[in-house]
Amino acid sequence: MFLMISNYTRPLDEVNTLRPEHLAFLDDLEARGLVVSAGMQSPPTGGVILLSTDDEAEARELISGDPYSVAGYSEYQAIGWTPMRGVLAEWTP
The confidence band for 4, taking pLDDT boundaries of 50, 70 and 90, is: very high
What value does the mean pLDDT take over residues 81-85? 92
Q: How far apart are CA 80 and CA 93, in angstroms?
A: 17
Q: Is the pTM above the cut of 0.85? A: yes
Q: Report pLDDT digits (tens) over 54-71.
A: 999 999 999 999 999 999
For residue 71, CA distances in Å to 8, 15, 22, 25, 80 come to 11, 9, 11, 14, 25
